[in-house]
Amino acid sequence: MAAEGTLTAGDYIRHHLVHLTNKKQESIVDFSVINIDSVVVSLTLGILVCFFLWRAARQATAGVPGRFQAAVEILVEMVENQAKAVIHNAQSRKLIAPMALTVFCWIFMMNFMDMLPVDLLPQIWHSAGPAMGFKDYLRVVPTADLSTTLGLSVSVLLMCVFYNIKIKGLGGWTHELVTAPFGTSKNPVWALLLGVVNFLMQMIEFVAKTVSHGMRLFGNMFAGELVFMLIALLGGYAALSLGGGLFFVGHLIAGTVWTLFHILVITLQAFIFMMLALIYLGQAHDAH
């Protein structure tokens, strides 16, 4: 922790990059490992987002709206316009548009955890966690956890599969899997070869979209988290060194600039994730 002067800069960063888990990870892919901090923070923020959206809907009036209602109405209109642009099925939009709004607000709130001081919650947990029998590790930005972002992108993939089957029928989607993007042939041999190639291309497309969807959000938030840790180290050097005035000035300038820039990053990443989800769901409605 930052308060422990015996830690080197590398130790400080490594400590902050370890999740509070239920068990030690034994392989590169280990689904038995649960990042408890990511689960608790993301669920808490998700409940808060749903509560505030529910409250806005419940208190909505036809008269002059208050600031809170006006802000929510702007978000709703923005998401509805984006959904109409890519999803032309009005019945599907009744579910997809509210889902997209919830995803945008939820991811924004998870990203916003990166704006808290790096050592604020970990320092509190440094005292409270071990006292309750937990290890002294805590990461508070769920979207800087690859498990969270890939979980979100896999959820979008499952919805794409659902709408592919719902809109096109199981037979229609199966036919599309073996005839797009290269078509088919009247020759049975060529039809079989093209079917295999088409199917493989479709699977590659689904996997690539899902992985890139989750990795994009994770990469940006993980990088932002690292930059905040490096800026925090400037403050640590300023406090521990006799001539730390320049470090302190650099800490203030870098922290202020990066915080202002990161406000744009966390908003943009939430919007990009939401838009890609809408685009992929829109593609599930379109026939090749």
Place of tokens 């199917």: 199
Tell me how far CA of residue 199 lies from CA of 157, 171, 193, in angstroms. Answer: 17, 14, 10
Q: What is the dihedral of CA 195, 198, 200, 206, to 10 degrees?
A: -140
| 114: Cα separation from own chain's centroid | 12
- Judge contact between 209 and 280, C-beta under 8 A: yes
Tell me how far CA of residue 268 lies from CA of 104, 151, 217, 274, 285, in angstroms. Answer: 10, 20, 10, 10, 26
35, 111, 153, 220: which one is catalytic?
220
Give the Cα separation of 182 and 179 in Å (integer). Answer: 6
58 is catalytic: no
Residue 58 neighbours by CB distance under 10 Å: 7
22, 32, 187, 212: which one is catalytic?
212
127 is catalytic: no
- Judge contact between 73 and 59, C-beta under 8 A: no
147, 155, 185, 216: which one is catalytic?
216
**Burial track 212-236 (b if 16+ CB lie within 10 A, e otherwise):** ebbebbbebbbebbebbbebbbbbb
89 is catalytic: no
Give the Cα separation of 161 and 199 in Å (integer). Answer: 15
Give the Cα separation of 288 and 271 in Å (integer). Answer: 27
For the annotated catalytic residues, the residue numbers are 212, 216, 220
